[in-house]
Amino acid sequence: MDVAHSDPRLVAAYERGNDLPAASLRAWAELISSQLTEVRRLLEVGAGTGIFCAALAEQMPQAEIVGVDPSELMLAEAARHHAHPRVRYRPGAADALPLTDGSCDAALLSRVVHHLPDRVAAARELARVLRPGGRLVIRTTVRERLDSPVYRYWPELLAHDARRFPAEAELLADFTGDGRFEVTRVFSFAQPIARDLAELRDRYALRAESKFGALSEAEFAAGLARLDGEVPVGAAHGEVLERYDVVVLERAAGPA
Ligand SMILES: C[S@@+](CC[C@H](N)C(=O)[O-])C[C@H]1O[C@@H](n2cnc3c(N)ncnc32)[C@H](O)[C@@H]1O
């Protein structure tokens, strides 16, 4: 596991700094579930504080959700904020999942691929636990389309993230290279993350994303000041959107 999600300060701030407006979370849950077929058990790998586990449980009343994360601190927050009768949170990492072969109908990797030390090992492990025909949804931003609003205020984070996030071709190659997965779709989806720039400012001020760890105190303060400068005029612009790339893969028939 990377160190970020075992940092008590980041973990304590994570829930408030990453939660989505209710309508945005619902839209994401609808979109993800619309890519899946016959889901009795869905696995979220890198479930964090469980924001998506609970939303997907609400969206799919027939499904059991298993949220796996290597950070005990994140899982404790998940149990606190997003407990749900059909969600189970379990410790584990993407390359050693605590699930039996073919026991999942679907899986989600949301904002996780850039944290994985070995994406090919994770792909192999996800193929092992998914049934043939089961789908994997990857929610990320690929290197060539890094466009989070965060870069407007902290432009130095763009270079930092370009070193961490895979390009689309690399990501697809890691998951399809040995024939375990086939690509179903790659597309974009954007939803509001804040009502206005003032709300965005409050969200970023929590420093609840691991990328902020790359900034000095002075760099962080300078970016926040840039954002503060836009808040008075930004109210007129309304909601702030964040776009993600969505990759849908299908577990091919054949041996894991
Ligand atoms: C940015 S958070 C994403 C949380 C949630 N999926 C979401 O979209 O809000 C990244 C999560 O990945 C987890 N993570 C880091 N390394 C991992 C690994 N090797 N396997 C699985 N999860 C990992 C972290 O502990 C953290 O909870």
Number of other residues whose CB lies within 10 A of the CB of residue 61: 7
Q: Dig out the tokens for 169 from the structure.
A: 């071709």
pLDDT value at 228 more than 90: yes
* Residue 5 CA to ligand 1 centre (angstroms): 8
pLDDT of residue 7: 80
pLDDT of residue 81: 94
Report the mean per-residue pLDDT for the chain: 94
Ligand 1 atom closest to residue 108's alpha carbon, by position in its atom list: 6
Ligand 1 atom closest to residue 94's alpha carbon, by position in its atom list: 20
Give pTM, 2 decimals.
Answer: 0.95
Work out the average pLDDT over 162-188: 97
pLDDT value at 90 more than 90: yes
| Cβ burial 208-240 (10 Å sphere, 16+ → b, else e) | bbbbbebbeeeebeebbeebeebeeebeeeeeb
pLDDT of residue 237: 72
- Tens-digit pLDDT profile for residues 120-131: 999 999 999 999
pLDDT value at 236 more than 80: no
- Tens-digit pLDDT profile for residues 184-211: 999 999 999 999 999 999 999 999 888 9
**More reliable by pLDDT, 91 or 235:** 91
pLDDT value at 3 more than 60: no
pLDDT value at 20 more than 80: yes
In the chain the first and final C-alpha atoms are separated, in Å, by 24
pLDDT of residue 16: 80
* Count of H-run helices and E-run strands, the chain: 10, 7
* Residue 80 CA to ligand 1 centre (angstroms): 17
- Tens-digit pLDDT profile for residues 46-77: 999 999 999 999 999 999 999 999 999 999 99
* Residue 227 CA to ligand 1 centre (angstroms): 27
CATH of domain 4-251: 3.40.50.150
What are the beta bridge partners of residue 110? 139
Ligand 1 pocket residues where CB is under 6 Å: 1-2, 5, 18, 45-48, 51-52, 69-71, 74, 93-94, 110-112, 115-116
Ligand 1 atom closest to residue 93's alpha carbon, by position in its atom list: 20
What are the beta bridge partners of residue 251? 181
What pLDDT band is residue 18 in, cutting at 50, 70 and 90? Answer: confident
